[in-house]
Amino acid sequence: MSKIIVSICGWCEADPSRTMFQYLGDRDDVDKLISGEQWLSLPEDDEQEVCRGDYILESVPSAFKYALGCEYDHVDVEVEREQFNREREASTIEGVIRQNTDNPL
């Protein structure tokens, strides 16, 4: 089976009302999923309280989908064939085996 590889370089202005953030910490008394509006209201850095650094963006595609503005500098779509990967992997293994047998200790 082939794989579709998409690489992108760009930015977006995420809509705070439609962008979600997932909590990474281990406290049970905080919301596990919050909106961008809630995330913006958190302190940037605070060792005592939950802060922005305790959350990660839940979905990059959603942030771009609902963006208020964005720009793509570069978007590439490539097809990577599974068979090619197996052949490349096999040839690499053969090279290692050949190298080890050509230079015995």
C-alpha span between 55 and 22 (Å, rounded): 5
| Domain residue ranges in the chain | 2-102
Q: What is the pLDDT of residue 100?
A: 44
Q: Residue 1 has what DSSP assignment?
A: -
Q: Which residues contact 33 (CB under 8 A, 6 or more apart)?
A: 20, 21, 22, 23, 58
Q: What is the pLDDT of residue 82?
A: 72
Q: 81 falls in which pLDDT band (50, 70, 90)?
A: confident
Using one digit for the tens of pLDDT, what is the confidence trace for 2-39?
A: 899 989 899 999 999 999 999 999 899 999 999 999 99
Q: 94 falls in which pLDDT band (50, 70, 90)?
A: low
Query: Does residue 102 have a pLDDT over 60?
Result: no
Query: Does residue 85 have a pLDDT over 80?
Result: no
Q: What is the pLDDT of residue 80?
A: 87
15, 36 contact by CB (below 8 A) = yes
C-alpha span between 68 and 52 (Å, rounded): 21
